[in-house]
Structures are given as C-alpha cells and as structure tokens.
Amino acid sequence: MGPLAAQVAHAAGNSSPGNLPEHTIAVVLSVPNEQALEAVAKRLTLAGIEFVRVVEDDAPYHGQLMALGCKPGRKEVIGRPLSGLPLLR
C-alpha cells in the first residue's frame, strides 16, 4: 500500500501545473485518525510550513479531513513537525 500511495503522490505532483522543483520527493505518512491529522496540521501551522487540507466532499466522509499535502520545501524544515509519523505501509 505504501509504495503505491507514494507513486500516486509522485504522479499527481508530476502531472500538476504547479512547476514543482526538479527532484521533489513524495513521502506518504500515516496517522490513526482525523484527530491526529488535525494535530499534525496544527504543528505544521505553528512551524510556518505551507500545506493544503484535503477534505472529502462526498458521503460517507462528507466534510472530514482526509489528508494534508505539504508544499515542497527543505526536508530538514518540513521533517521536524512530521517526525515520529510512520510511513504508510
């Protein structure tokens, strides 16, 4: 599951018109629930790291935060608030 998710993230980034920097790395981490994901969002905000919130519009998850996407940046900076989160397996 993890390698597949990482490849999907790579494909999404590479096909976006967002002009991602060359050699941008996609990493897919996991959390146990939406509450934990909200806590990660708070840590990213406090660290001043830009990210997007992915909220599902359709049932059965209507309105639920499903994922966070960090804007590309230095691993040393982005990695701090994400440390301790396991890779999706």
Q: What is the DSSP letter of 13?
A: H
* Greater model confidence, 53 or 6: 53
Within 10 Å of residue 26's Cβ, how many Cβ atoms? Answer: 17
Mean pLDDT estimate for the chain: 91
CA–CA gap between residue 41 and residue 37 (Å, rounded): 6
Whose tokens are 């309105």? That residue is 63
Domain boundaries, the chain: 2-82
User: Which helix (H) or strand (E) segment is 45 a member of?
Assistant: helix 34-46
Phi, psi torsion values for 69, nearest 5 degrees = -125, 115
Specify the amino acid at residue 8: V
Q: How far is residue 79's CA from residue 47's CA, in Å, rounded to a whole number?
A: 11
pLDDT per residue as tens digits for the range 20-61: 888 888 899 999 999 999 999 999 999 999 999 999 999 999
pLDDT of residue 68: 95
Residue 18 has pLDDT above 80, yes or no: no
